[in-house]
């Protein structure tokens, strides 16, 4: 009996020891740990918890983010003619009763010109102690009045110092002291999957709070291109894509890394609903660095120009030209008197390297050329008839005519913007003229506006010289000085030069 008691006692002791060992290994301790004693397994960044890193960004860089509100006074001419034909070629809902059309236009043509205010909202970030703010050009474009609200609620009048529509960047200035500043980072070293924070003022007026909104996410992709799908006058290439929430009003605000350094300027969202859907874009800050000083000085931003039309290679072209791979671009057209023509580049040449850097596709070449200083000479490595050649090209300045030709529009002259008259426009507005240029925009308070020209007018002659196309139009106005007598489908108008 005594032996049985001893046996069961030893078994009990051994069982307790084994149980304690198992509990210790599997962390089944019955003692409840306090919050401070628990091991922190949350993501970290340079020794900081991710949460703390984002909080730090909000408390530092976030203070330098501002809200930008704009006002623009637009003018609508009261004497405008109305056309009831459908733009899709359908019949007018009022039929072909010309008496009704005359009555309607006679009635409304007596209405006076009306002005109305357009308002806009965006964001910006203070980058200089003297009050210089970096933002998007489209945020402040055509603004008659700019109001900047700091994160602490102070308001200041903003002044545009420099703007560039192609890069969609602008610098505005406020007269203020004791300003919080944000540091510019390096966007060339960004990596897909890297954490970033977007800061801005979406729906700022609705929220009634000057403090910026902070959203976190990752770099979803790099070197994205929207081309000219968003705007024909802006060139959205080499963008940063992020899933950090970007909404209307965020434009111009910074995209920053977890150190609080600016790595991009938020510019656009891709959305089917107009709201956030997880795909936002930002301009790399290194693109801004190259032109900030010129914007502050109010200087024109110059872009390099090669003067070629190029295309990406495919398998069939690689085989036809006897190439080893698809890296490179094929020259399909050389513009007359362009830097490329002067350097000896020819159609069907394949550009493999530009300025000692490999060229893999059209996007890379266009981006590289645009960044080169005008007047600088660079080496271009090409393959011509299966032979490698190296040519030297002096980079030229991208002509304004190239931009206008890409849009099919002739830029504003005395407040006028015109376009070639085509069959679609003629049918839409029931225009009988077969030749001429159509006015598509008239700047408010311009010489053309004061003369009485309106969108939809067809310009037939300038100073008795026929203007049958935008090409004729440009030649006539190129060296035109003094007053200009404009003959339109509605009659003659005199554009004074002062």
H-helix or E-strand containing 450?
Answer: helix 447-451
pLDDT confidence bin for 88, thresholds 50/70/90: very low
What's residue 277's pLDDT? 63
Judged against a pLDDT cut of 70, whether residue 275 lies above it is answered with no
In the numeric block, which tokens belong to residue 184?
């510019």
Q: Where are the beta strands (DSSP E) in 372-424?
A: 377-384, 387-394, 396-397, 409-413, 416-420
Q: Count Cα atoms within 13 angstroms, Cβ side, for 281.
A: 19
Distance in angstroms (rounded) separating the CA atoms of residues 425 and 434: 11
Judged against a pLDDT cut of 90, whether residue 252 lies above it is answered with yes
Q: Model-level pTM? A: 0.66
pLDDT confidence bin for 7, thresholds 50/70/90: low
484 vs 10: which has the higher pLDDT = 484
Assigned domain for 357 exists: yes
Distance in angstroms (rounded) separating the CA atoms of residues 348 and 362: 14
Q: Are residues 409 and 473 in the same domain?
A: yes
Q: Are residues 320 and 392 in the same domain?
A: yes
Supply the range of the domain harboring residue 361: 304-397
Distance in angstroms (rounded) separating the CA atoms of residues 28 and 18: 13
Judged against a pLDDT cut of 80, whether residue 149 lies above it is answered with yes
Q: Are residues 148 and 2 in the same domain?
A: no
Q: What's the CATH code of the domain at 181? A: 2.40.10.120
In the DSSP assignment, the letter for residue 112 is P
Assigned domain for 27 exists: yes
407-414: average pLDDT: 59
Residues 6+ apart with CB under 8 A from 313: 323, 326, 327, 328, 329, 330, 350
In residues, how long is the chain? Answer: 498
Assigned domain for 101 exists: no
Distance in angstroms (rounded) separating the CA atoms of residues 406 and 408: 6
Judged against a pLDDT cut of 80, whether residue 440 lies above it is answered with no
Q: Count Cα atoms within 13 angstroms, Cβ side, for 332.
A: 8
Q: Are residues 56 and 70 in the same domain?
A: yes
Q: Are residues 388 and 484 in the same domain?
A: no
Q: Are residues 295 and 313 in the same domain?
A: no
In the DSSP assignment, the letter for residue 61 is G
In the numeric block, which tokens belong to residue 211?
């403090």
Q: Are 68 and 141 in contact (CB under 8 A)?
A: no
449-474: average pLDDT: 85
Q: Are residues 72 and 185 in the same domain?
A: yes
Q: Are residues 221 and 345 in the same domain?
A: no
Assigned domain for 84 exists: no
Distance in angstroms (rounded) separating the CA atoms of residues 244 and 202: 13
For 347-396, what is each residue's pLDDT tens digit? 899 999 999 999 999 888 988 998 899 999 999 999 999 999 999 999 99
C-alpha dihedral sign at 151, 155, 156, 162: positive
For 180-232, what is each residue's pLDDT tens digit? 999 999 999 999 999 999 999 876 555 567 788 899 999 999 988 875 444 44
Q: Are residues 176 and 247 in the same domain?
A: yes
- CA dist list (Å): 267 to 72, 107, 124, 334: 21, 44, 11, 33
H-helix or E-strand containing 135?
Answer: strand 132-135
Q: Are residues 356 and 413 in the same domain?
A: no
Distance in angstroms (rounded) separating the CA atoms of residues 348 and 346: 6
For 31-72, what is each residue's pLDDT tens digit? 333 334 444 444 555 555 778 889 999 999 999 999 999 998
CA dihedral 23, 26, 27, 30 (to 10 degrees): -30
C-alpha dihedral sign at 172, 176, 182, 186: positive
Residues 6+ apart with CB under 8 A from 417: 409, 410, 411, 439, 440, 441, 442
Assigned domain for 229 exists: yes
In the DSSP assignment, the letter for residue 420 is E
Assigned domain for 104 exists: no
Q: Are residues 476 and 415 in the same domain?
A: yes
Judged against a pLDDT cut of 70, whether residue 309 lies above it is answered with yes
**Of 148-162, 187-201, 277-291, the least confident:** 277-291
Tell me the sheet residues that pair with 184: 262
Judged against a pLDDT cut of 60, whether residue 498 lies above it is answered with no
pLDDT confidence bin for 340, thresholds 50/70/90: very high
Assigned domain for 100 exists: no
Count: domains in the chain:
4
In the numeric block, which tokens belong to residue 368?
């590289």
3-state secondary structure of 211: coil
3-state secondary structure of 401: helix
pLDDT confidence bin for 162, thresholds 50/70/90: very high
Which of 375, 397, 419 is where one domain is finished?
A: 397
What's residue 316's pLDDT? 85
Assigned domain for 419 exists: yes
Which of 249, 282, 300 is where one domain is finished?
A: 300
- Which residue bears the tokens 């020891």? 17
Judged against a pLDDT cut of 50, whether residue 130 lies above it is answered with yes
**Of 44-58, 274-288, 293-307, the least confident:** 44-58
Distance in angstroms (rounded) separating the CA atoms of residues 310 and 305: 13
Q: Where are the beta strands (DSSP E) in 225-340?
A: 239-242, 254-256, 262-269, 280-284, 304-305, 308-312, 329-334
C-alpha dihedral sign at 362, 134, 127, 283: negative
Q: Are 194 and 185 in contact (CB under 8 A)?
A: no
Which of 382, 397, 412 is where one domain is finished?
A: 397
Residues labelled catalytic: 138, 168, 251
Q: Where are the beta strands (DSSP E) in 293-349?
A: 304-305, 308-312, 329-334
Residues 6+ apart with CB under 8 A from 424: none
3-state secondary structure of 199: strand
Distance in angstroms (rounded) separating the CA atoms of residues 63 and 261: 13
What's residue 323's pLDDT? 92
What's residue 370's pLDDT? 87
In this structure, the strands spanning 48-49 and 145-149 are: unpaired
In the numeric block, which tokens belong to residue 253?
């605000």
245-251: average pLDDT: 82
What's residue 43's pLDDT? 54
Q: Are residues 376 and 260 in the same domain?
A: no
Distance in angstroms (rounded) separating the CA atoms of residues 188 and 205: 35
Distance in angstroms (rounded) separating the CA atoms of residues 425 and 438: 9
Q: What's the CATH code of the domain at 329? A: 2.30.42.10
């Amino acid at each position: 009996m005594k032996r049985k008691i001893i046996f069961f006692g030893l078994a009990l002791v051994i069982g307790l020891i084994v149980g304690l060992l198992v509990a210790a290994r599997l962390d089944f301790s019955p003692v409840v740990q306090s919050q401070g004693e628990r091991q922190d397994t949350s993501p970290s960044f340079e020794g900081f918890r991710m949460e703390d890193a984002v909080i730090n960004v909000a408390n530092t860089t976030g203070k330098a983010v501002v809200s930008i509100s704009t006002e623009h006074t637009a003018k609508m001419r009261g004497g405008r003619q109305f056309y009831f034909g459908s733009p899709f070629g359908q019949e007018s809902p009022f039929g072909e009763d010309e008496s009704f059309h005359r009555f309607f236009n006679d009635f409304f043509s007596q209405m006076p010109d009306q002005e109305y205010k357009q308002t806009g909202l965006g964001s910006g970030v203070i980058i200089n102690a003297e009050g210089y703010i970096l933002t998007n050009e489209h945020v402040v474009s055509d603004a008659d009045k700019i109001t900047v609200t700091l994160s602490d609620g102070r308001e200041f009048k903003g002044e545009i110092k420099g703007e560039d529509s192609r890069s969609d960047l602008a610098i505005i200035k406020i007269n203020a002291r004791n300003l919080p500043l944000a540091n510019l980072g390096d966007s060339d070293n960004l990596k897909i999957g890297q954490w970033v924070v977007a800061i801005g003022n979406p729906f700022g007026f609705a929220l009634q709070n000057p403090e910026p909104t902070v959203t976190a996410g990752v770099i979803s992709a790099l070197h994205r291109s929207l081309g000219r799908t968003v705007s024909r006058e802006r060139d959205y290439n080499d963008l940063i894509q992020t899933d950090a929430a970007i909404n209307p009003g965020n434009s111009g605000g910074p995209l920053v890394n977890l150190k609080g350094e600016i790595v991009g300027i938020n510019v656009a969202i891709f959305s089917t609903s107009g709201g956030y859907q997880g795909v936002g874009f930002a301009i790399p800050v290194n693109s801004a660095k190259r032109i900030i000083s010129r914007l502050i000085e109010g200087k024109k931003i110059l872009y390099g120009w090669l003067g070629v039309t190029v295309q990406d290679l495919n398998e069939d072209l690689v085989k036809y030209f006897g190439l080893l791979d698809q890296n490179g671009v094929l020259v399909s057209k050389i513009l007359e008197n362009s830097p490329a023509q002067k350097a000896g580049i020819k159609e069907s040449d394949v550009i493999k390297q530009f300025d000692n850097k490999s060229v893999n596709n059209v996007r890379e070449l266009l981006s590289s050329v645009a960044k080169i200083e005008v007047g600088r000479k660079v080496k271009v490595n090409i393959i011509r008839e299966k032979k490698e050649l190296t040519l030297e090209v002096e980079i030229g300045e991208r002509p304004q005519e190239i931009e206008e030709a890409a849009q099919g529009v002739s830029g504003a002259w005395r407040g006028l913007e015109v376009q070639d008259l085509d069959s679609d426009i003629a049918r839409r507005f029931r225009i009988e003229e077969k030749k001429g240029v159509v006015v598509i925009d008239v700047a408010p308070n311009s010489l053309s506006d004061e003369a009485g020209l309106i969108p939809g007018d067809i310009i037939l002659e300038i100073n008795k010289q026929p203007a049958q196309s935008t090409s004729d139009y440009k030649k006539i106005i190129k060296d035109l000085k003094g007053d200009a007598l404009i003959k339109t489908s509605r009659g003659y108008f005199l554009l004074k030069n002062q």
